[in-house]
Amino acid sequence: MKKVKLYDTTLRDGSQAEGISYSVIDKIRIAEELDKIGIHFIEGGWPGSNPKDREFFLKISRSKLRNSQIAAFSMTRRPNISAPHDANLKALLKSKAEVITIVGKTWDFHVTAVLKTTLDENLAMIEDTVGFLAKKGFLVFYDAEHFFDAYKANKNYALKTLTAAQNAGAKAICLCDTNGGFLTSQISSITEEIKNKIGDAEVDLGIHCHNDAGVAIANSLAAVEAGANIVQGTINGYGERCGNADLIPIIANLKTKLKIDCISDFNLKQLTHVSHFVSEISNMRVRSEQPFVGDSAFAHKGGMHINAIMKNPLTYEHIAPSLVGNRRRILVSELGGKTGILLRAKDLCYDLSKEDPQTKKILGLVQSLEHKGFQFEAAEASFQILMKRALKKYKKFFELEGFKVVIEKRLNNRITSEAVIKLKVKGVKEHTAAEGDGPINALDNALRKALKDFYPTLAKMHLSDFKVRVLDEKAGTAARVRVLIQSQDEKDVWSTIGVHENIIEASWQALVDSVEYKLLKDNQ
């Protein structure tokens, strides 16, 4: 069986994504998680560029990684400076990394326009840098920046840069589609050409794709089929501009489609967990539509689909969800019919049948609410609460007696929101007030303040996303709005919904469901 090595650059390329900023502790936690699933190489950053990366390399050297080798990244020496005197290369020597990845200019246009040097000097820079590090005992990888553009523009010179790295002692040469603009057929044919030219089993051939044309995953897989045996990418495809190749579906496709060994079957089942873990550490929304590991990857909504999937999952699923640690979801909506209701009831340990009046009652309730604007496939937590209420299996954790929200703009243009709330909890009346960044945040703070002594576990949950959609734009300011709230604790992520003409009331509905779902989980 062909083997492919995985090279993760989430901690460097991934951190260049808009909205992501890792602390040293964040980077260590991600590295340790990647090590657990058997990623071969983890690129930790550029020690010559900033103090944070230097601290990371110092601390990660003390971690007892079992499967992964840590790689440090840098560029070739600067023009007209010897390798031993280059500041970036000096920082690499202190990094304690086992692998050094050097990026070099391959495109003649970049050599003259960006480096402002000669083509011969660039070749010398590549050879001197790789040779200097190889003689120091490092495992040196060479990233051929903009390789596919370079090969198209000046094939002979592009090949000379690879030869310079290979002759100097590089153990892997990685072809980079740095601008992310090449299509799959081009990546495949050029990679195959390079594989035939290198032809040295001792030198690995890698692929590094960006996603600017939306085909980074396909390009990476095509390169593997054309001869590459190292794939670079990031978890969830994080990266600059449109991102890098997403290692999550790449790993899943290598294992389940191409039958290529890259991680163990056991570790394949951790893909969903790792994807969500890195999303959380990165403070990025979990993409429900992400292939293989997203919440919607194996979700079924249409009645015909649901009916078929229950007879044989192969009808509408390309693999078993459990292979990648995911699960099948049957979505409840007006399109799903009674089958969807029955399956969700079964998940909640309620034994219903199509003939049961309760089934018809719940379906009618769902259809009525969806007609008003509710959408339960996006808010499973709200649906669970709805079903429990319909089956008279639900006991409220608190009762609202009333709330008031005040928004005040003061002379200094500072806007403050304050919520006052009255509740009855376990027979005890609570009357609290709290401020917030906005009216919903103030309501959330006031509600938690009133409940914290009765339900301490609420301190472990927080709201992670808040969406508002106007359902009837023609109605103007009187339009009904739908509010979706995503919440999470240390274990789970769940979504709740509210619909009303008043955005505060719609938000309150979703907020209450979110809190009550958390309490239901903790009191099962």
Give pLDDT, residue 340. Answer: 64
Give the pTM: 0.70
Tell how far CA 115 is from the center of its chain. Answer: 34
Query: By mean pLDDT, which of 326-335, 437-446, 503-512 is the weakest?
Result: 326-335
Give pLDDT, residue 277. Answer: 85
Give pLDDT, residue 491. Answer: 79
Q: Is the distance from CB of 131 to CB of 84 less than 8 angstroms?
A: no
Q: 471 pLDDT band (50/70/90 cuts)?
A: confident
Give pLDDT, residue 475. Answer: 55
> Strand 139-145 and strand 69-75: pairing?
unpaired
Give pLDDT, residue 364. Answer: 79
Res. 321: pLDDT tops 90: yes
Res. 142: pLDDT tops 90: yes
Res. 482: pLDDT tops 70: yes
Query: By mean pLDDT, which of 48-57, 101-110, 137-146, 218-227 is the weakest?
Result: 48-57
Q: How far lies 322's CA from each of 123, 186, 293, in Å?
A: 49, 34, 10
Give pLDDT, residue 127. Answer: 97
Q: Which whole number is the average pLDDT over 458-476?
A: 77
Q: Which whole number is the average pLDDT over 2-14?
A: 96
Distance (Å, whole) CA 328 – CA 440: 33
Give pLDDT, residue 300. Answer: 85
**What percent of the chain is predicted at pLDDT more than 90?**
63
pLDDT averaged over every residue in the chain: 89
Task: Give the burial string for 40-79 (b: 16+ CB within 10 Å, else e).
Answer: bbbbbbbbbeeeebbbbbeebeeeebeebbbbbbbbbbbe
Torsion-angle region of 434 (φ positive above 0: left; ψ -120 to 50: alpha; else: beta)? beta
Res. 337: pLDDT tops 70: no
Q: 423 pLDDT band (50/70/90 cuts)?
A: very high
User: Residue 154 carries which DSSP code?
Assistant: -
Q: 174 pLDDT band (50/70/90 cuts)?
A: very high
Q: How many other C-beta atoms are found inside a 10 Å radius of the C-beta of residue 220?
A: 30
Expressed in percent and rounded to 5, the helix, strand and coil fractions of the chain are: 45, 20, 35
Q: 517 pLDDT band (50/70/90 cuts)?
A: very high
Q: Which residues pair with 105 in a beta bridge?
A: 145
Where do the domains of the chain lie, and which CATH numbers do they carry? 5-263 (3.20.20.70), 299-371 (no CATH)
Q: Which whole number is the average pLDDT over 352-373?
A: 76
Give pLDDT, residue 377. Answer: 59
Res. 348: pLDDT tops 70: no
User: Residue 111 carries which DSSP code?
Assistant: I
